[in-house]
Every structure is written in C-alpha cells, then in structure tokens.
Structure 1
Amino acid sequence: MSILSDDERVVITGLGCVSAHGVGVRPFWNQVVEGHSAIAPTTRAQAGHSITVPAAPVTEFQLQHHIKTPQQPLLDPFSQYALVAAHEAINDAAWDLTQLPRSEVAVILGSTSGGEASRENEAVRFFYQGKKRCNPALVTRTNHQAVVCGISMHFGFTGPAFVVHTGCASGTHAIAQAYLMLRHGQARYAVTGGAEACVMFSTLVAFQAMGVLATDTCRPFSSGRTGMALGEGAGVITLETLAAARERHAPIYAELAGIGMSADASDPVNPVVHGPIKAMQLALDRAGLKPKQVDYINAHGTGTQSNDQVENEAIKQLFDAHATHLAVSSTKASHGHALGASGGFELIATVLSLQEGLLPPTANFTAPDPKCDLDYIPNHSREQRISVALSNSFALGGLNAVLAVTSVR
C-alpha cells in the first residue's frame, strides 16, 4: 500500500448525538459505557390501532430549545435530530465558520425511513379522518434529502451534499462516501453520519410482522435473545483531511483509516458470511492493516438469531486464531437499532473507546450462546487501551459497510 499524504488521510474531529439517552454525546456515551439500556415498552397508536413493543425512542425533544431556525416547520423529526447533532459536532470540532471555506464542506448523511413520520400522519389525515387538503410542507418534510439540505442551509455549506439510503447500513455507507470524497480531493471537510425518526406505529407494525422484534429487550449475542428493538435519533461526525486539521491545530479523536463495502448478492432477508467477511477485509486492506492488529469490533449485533450467528462466524473466519483475542460488543442493546442512525451512533462509541481506553459492554446479556462464542464484553465496560477498531453495519439484502479507525500515527 502506498503511503498517503496528509491531504489524503481522513481524521475525525467532532462528534454530535441525539439519542434515546438524551441530547449530546456525553449523555449517550455515559449511558452506553455504564451498560444502561434505553429500551423500554413503547406504545404507538394510529387510526384506532395501537402497538406496544420494546423500543428506544427519543423523548422530550424540542428543536427550538437547541437551535432557532425558520426551517423548523419544514423539518421532519429526523431532520431536526440531525441538525442538532450536526451543530454539536461542528462546535466540538471548533470549526470557525467565519474562516472555514464553506464550499469545501461536504454534507453526506444516511437515513432509512426519511420523513416517514410526517408521511404516516398525513396518510391518517387523508384515509382515516377524511381530510381533503394536504399539508403544503409534506414534500419537503418527507424527502430523504431534507436531512442534508437542512444542515447545508443552516450553516451555509455549499460543497457536495447528498443522502444515502441503504437500510441499516445507511449511516456507515454515508460516512464511507464522505471518506472517499475527502480521500480523493472532492472536499476537505465533511459533516456525515445518519438520522432516523422511526419509532412510529407503521414501522413498528412492519418489523413485528417480519418476526424480528424482541419480546422483552434486545440481547445481542446472548442466549435467549428474541430479536431487535428499534431506536432513533442522529449520530453525526465531522471529518477533515489530516492536512486541514493540522493547519488549524485541531484536536483529533482518531483517523478514519479505511472503509470496506460489499454485497452478499444472496438473499433479501437472511445474511451470509462471505459479504461481511469481504467488507471487513477491504476495510483492513485500505487501512494497510492486518487482522491481528485489530483490538476491538463494534459489531452490527442486532439481537436476532441469524444476524448474530452469521456475524460471529464471519469474524471467526476472517480473524482465525486472533478472533479469540478480540473484544467485541454491540451497543444496540443500549441505544436500540436506530437503522440509518446506528452507523453514526456506533462510530461515536468506537471512537470514544479508542480515545478513552474504555470498551462499551453488550448490555442486557444473560448467558453465552454456544453459537456466539467470542468475547462480547457482557454487561460491564472494560478498561483496555486499543489502537485499532472496526465498526460493522450489515443491512437487509446483504449490503455491508465497515469502518476501520485507528489512533493517529
């Protein structure tokens, strides 16, 4: 692998978060490392029907308490979460917007559902309540691209802006695309990650019909696990080239050293091992790393039987004997499966693990599953200094994305 210049290397300088644990990275991280779960019985109702299932919704969020914007009536909750998380990340990165070249800032986010909450509410008004007129803001609220338009307009960023829509891997795919934009000189800075407002009646009913929702709570890799629990919010990261960060003497969390993407090309629902293996291997190859150098993996770990078993097997096949020395955990047991936002949440957790020497546990763990036989850091965080980590995201249809992060060399 050729040695990259500082203009080609990509680093993480800012973090922002809105989650079921509250607004801000610090509340999120504190709860995740303590092994606290935001998942609880959650009821959603529409048109005389209701559903109660385990979920991790964002509660008591009011955009105007965090940001004043004339865009508010045009922003669905998923866009509002992203705007607040982006504001935190930009402040965390100490970007001076009076000096930063805004034309060199890319805004690339992922989302699965987009403005589905607004669409659901309007559908009820039409088909159940018999209303004849549509909310004139419906199109702008429901468009997936609203999540990047809102950030670009609020901060005046005029660089490349687009949204990635690949299910559970949307956020990680978006971060990978932002990495590539910076790596190849299309931008010097990026606001990236994922956002969702998906704890809503129709989405919960749909996932329940698939038979993948947990009956009690989410217990990734644990014996007796019964499925996933939806979460929501936004996880946003600022990226910049190493040269840009050094020019302004910016503190750096970690280097985004490599990305890997693949497709199973196998089944619309059931995962297979070769796709995740390829994505992890590509991330390592592009980072110039060997499997034995990896210390920690933030797993996709949804809590379903098949996903957890396949990911466990993929790690074992790729890492071979080193798999038994890896620390692995799924933070979805804490913040829920936030679909497109999960990639942002989990990269934040991975980066803070690297910086603070504290590995987040897999919460709600009861007993080992013989078919998930790696070190899953059950229930309690672990003090351990690490220098290389992976963050995995594997979507329905076999769409896989992996990020490799390292200490800055």
Structure 2
Amino acid sequence: MSQLKKSWVDSANSARTPFPLNNLPYGVFSAGDQEPRCGVAIGDMILDVTALENEYFEYASCPVFASGMWNEFMELGSEIWAEFRTKLNEMLKEGSHFQKEIEAHLVPMADAELLMPFAVSEYTDFYAGRQHAANMGAILRGSPDLPANWLHIPIGYNGRASSVVISGTPIHRPNGQRKAPGAEVPSFGPSTRLDIELEMGAIVGKASAFGQPITVDEADDMIFGYVLLNDWSARDIQGWEYQPLGPFQGKAFGTSISPWIVTAAALEPFRAPTPPREQTLLPYLESTKAGLYDINLQVLIQPEGADKSSVIGNTNYTRMYYSAAEQLAHHAVGGCAMNVGDLLGSGTISGPARSEYGSLMEMSWGGQEAFTLDTGEIRTFIEDGDTLTLRGAAKGDGFQIGFGDCVGKILPAVTWPK
C-alpha cells in the first residue's frame, strides 16, 4: 500500500487532512479582491500557481493559468501533466530547497473562496450502477430486472453543462409538470419528490477527433481527474417526462461538483477492477486496465436550523458496473468528438445494503418508507432548507486522498408565474 509522503507544510502530514502531498488536487480560488487564480491544495493551504507560473511553470508561449481555469493546462497533454506534478512534489516535499522561495505564495484555505475549477464543455450523465438500476426497476416497475441493453452498454444521456455548479451554490427547488397517480392531466408547480444522486464525475483532459472512435485504454489516458458529483433529481417531474426520450427538466436544474480536481495520477495507487461481467461485453469495450478506484463515499443531510448533519449513506466507487473509461469509449464509438473539459457523471453509486444506497429514492423506497435523521426529523425526499453533502476519500497507509465536500442547500421554488 502507498505510504504518506512528507511535506514541509505541516498540516499536509496529518492523517486527517484530505490533501496530503500524495494528493495535490487542482482548484480555483479567490482571496480578498483577487481575480480567480489556479491553486493546488496542500494540507490546509493553497499554493498559488498563477503567481508562480512565469518563474516555475512556463509550459506554453502564453500563460495557461492566467484564465483562472484549468482547461488550458489540460490541453497541454499528459507529458506536461506528469512534469507539473513531479515539480510540485519537488517543491513541497519535506526538505525541499524551494521552501523559502514559494512559502510566501501559500494562501490559507480558510481565507479563500473556492470557485469552479474548470469550464465544463459538455456534460453527460450515465446510469451505470448495477444496484441502483435494479432498485429503480423494482421501485418504478415492480421488478429488479434490468433493461435488455443494460448489461451490454453504458446507458447515458446528454445533460446541461450550464447547470453544473460549484459546491456551496444553493439550488432552487425546480418547478415543472408532474402528474399525480390517478390524475387525468398533469399539474404545474414545485417538485415534491426532490432527490440527490451520489456520483463521481470524470473530467476529459484530451480531445478526440470527430468521426474517430477510441479504445477503452485510450479513454483511460484521456481522463484528467475526478470530482464528487451530485446530480440533483426531481423524481416527479422526471417520472412524467422521461418516456420515451429520457430525463429533461427533472435533471436540468442543477448538478453540483466538489471544488478540487483529484488527478488520475493521485488515484492510481487505488485502482480496482470492475465487477465480474454478467454478460460478455463486445470487443470495443474490452480493456487491459482495471477501471475503478477504491474510494469511500458518504451522503449527509442537515435540516435547516439543525446543529449537526446525519449520515444517511455510505458506499464505495467500486460498486459501479462500468468504469469512466468504458463510458468515455462508448460515448465516442459512433464518432462523437470528446472535448477538453467534458464532464461524465458515473450514475448513482449504490451498494447491496440499504445503508449503501446513493439516492433518497432508494433510501425511502420511492417515498413509501420514511427514515429518521439523527435530529429526530423524518424524511422521504428533500425539504426546503435541507443541506446535502457528499464526501469521498481513498484511504492509504496513514493518509487519505480527498476531494473536498460537495455541498448544496435547497431553497424554495421560484414563484411562477411572476
């Protein structure tokens, strides 16, 4: 198992920090009246790489960090990604001769506002968790049997990049059409079955050409890093609209991501295989690499006015059936060009036990079985004022690789018509 790498930044050497030297995730921050700046998390500090670019990280003819986004750096390619990470390790490791030169460019994380770390080019959400798919079938159709195509292809749909927001951004309860059981016509109003979906988000760092498929191994090399992802879902709106073309307004009102991009390189020691295949996949979905990562995941809810959160779910990314690389390869197989900054949602991650379910739809079994929070309050779906938090970390020997919390508070629906 990988060991903790020691840093001269003392807070990075604690087993409790999600940001040891082994991690070095990438984000964007603002401190005081500064413009957005690219930074690297190390312990409870942020290294301002925008300030250091001209002297230490000059990889292109013009600055790539000045935009306050990581997209231009991603476009430089995997050799530069590796070179940059190696340089960061040299600068921040225990005993580094760079310490005196760069410590003035460390910003306390507590003094910084975290912003969107990259510009989302396109957003695609998948439905690739085996247990979640079976649960949804049992809840909605009375049978856990999977759709005929499910064990053969990673099912997905194209979402809205404009609705992807950084952790901490409040989400308004969406309005829309929903049809009550037994009603002859639909009604319009705020969703009454508001939900989350616990997911991982994979960020594409290399583009593919229009008309050209890619292999799973090539797709794996194209993934720059990962974030936690909450694909908020209005189950009643979705239930009325999704046939025959799938989700639309029930999903388009908000998708939250965690603030730090944890690189594929940082997660490499935690590689894990995909589960045994129940059906042999077609050759274009075959790979020589293990496709998942051993990342512990958690869902918490805190009602408005409560002094603590309740843990309502614990699971692991290895519960997925399809890997991000398999999803990416399938996405491109028909000739779809993949862009730098594309975001792929894994689909809801649920395990076989109820304590491992990744959505309230499953936890309450479609609203039929209410559950009690640590505060004594009852829930089936999300209520106004509730704050939902996703957490995730890969556990090493005396350290962890974390993402930062993915947080969203639900505000009341906007009054309509105005």
Same fold (TM over 0.5): no
Please give the TM-score of this superposition, normalised by the length of structure 1. 0.26
Higher percent of residues as helix: 1
Please give the TM-score of this superposition, normalised by the length of structure 2. 0.26
